[in-house]
Structure 1
Amino acid sequence: MSCGPVCTNLGLKPGQRLTVKGTIPPNAKSFVMNLGKDATHLGLHFNPRFDAHGDVNTIVCNSKKVEEWGAEQRETVFPFQKGAPAEVTFSINPSDVTVHLTGHQFTFPNRLGLSVFDYFDTHGDFTLQSLSWE
């Protein structure tokens, strides 16, 4: 997996959103987008898997506090396609994060109780083209 950019000091608060645009290579296995306080406190670990870790066309979400992972949440709606552009928007709410995908959305609880999301990174089979927040 290739490493992508790391963003810090984002200052995303409830009512704000982060939109990530990029492309997925034709031979993609999986990619990750992390949102949180820092690299060790992840409010949302977003991991679409084409074929990785025993999952096929599944989005696996989780949270992480230092080295302790929470319970995985799986989404079976999988709008991503190999060799195609992708867009994901994360809306920050007081008690959860809404993930907006093409034709589908779902929420993931803010298990760490973060009032501000300062950290974002992406890695794996995803080429970042733009990041925007409002």
Structure 2
Amino acid sequence: MALQLVAHVKIKSGGCIKVKGEVAPEAQSFALNLGQDESNLILHFNPRFDFHGDIRTIVCNSKTEGQWDTELREAEFPFQQGEETKICVSFDAEEITVELPEGQELRFPNRFGLEAADYFSVTGDLHVKSVKFK
């Protein structure tokens, strides 16, 4: 997966990371990662158009010291290849909320209980147009 963006910033709970981008016309998948660093993620948000045997599925997970935890899968899939999309990620010590297109929301447990994150990245088949940390 191509790395589109990496930000090393202090993101506090309650804030929102707004990502606006265009999904590649031949997209297989893309991912948003949030955590302490690449090996310690409170959220790996991975919409898969056709990737690793998953078709039109959102896979969420966390990672501790480079080891993946248990995946959660979401069948609702509001993304379209070749179209623009907006995603907003916010979190508190209990859970992470991902606001999806079409007013959908995905909730994932904050397995670390972190109140701040230092790392955010976007990888894969999403051409990032803007990222705002609010």
1:44 alignment partner AA: L
Shift of 1:100: 0.3
C-alpha distance in 2, partners of 1:56/1:122?
A: 20
Structure 1: which 5+ runs fail to align? none
1:33 alignment partner AA: L
Matched with 2:112 is 112
Partner of 2:121, secondary structure, is strand
Matched with 1:128 is 128
C-alpha distance in 2, partners of 1:99/1:45?
A: 11
CA contact (8 A) 1:37 1:114 kept: no
Partner of 1:29, secondary structure, is coil
Shift of 1:94: 2.4
Q: Does 1:92 align with 2:98?
A: no
C-alpha distance in 2, partners of 1:132/1:67?
A: 27
1:23 alignment partner AA: E
Shift of 1:15: 1.4
Q: Which string of whole-angstrom CA distances, capped at 9 and with x for unpartnered residues, describes residues 51-105 of structure 1?
A: 0011000000000011211100001110000000011100112211101001210
Matched with 1:78 is 77
Shift of 1:114: 1.3
C-alpha distance in 2, partners of 1:27/1:7?
A: 26
Higher strand share: 2
Q: TM-score, with normalisation over the residues of structure 2?
A: 0.95
Residues 36-75 of structure 1 aligned to structure 2 (within 5 Å): 36-75=35-74
Identical amino acids, percent of aligned pairs: 45
CA contact (8 A) 2:21 2:129 kept: yes
Structure 2: which 5+ runs fail to align? none
CA contact (8 A) 1:12 1:92 kept: no
CA contact (8 A) 2:20 2:86 kept: yes
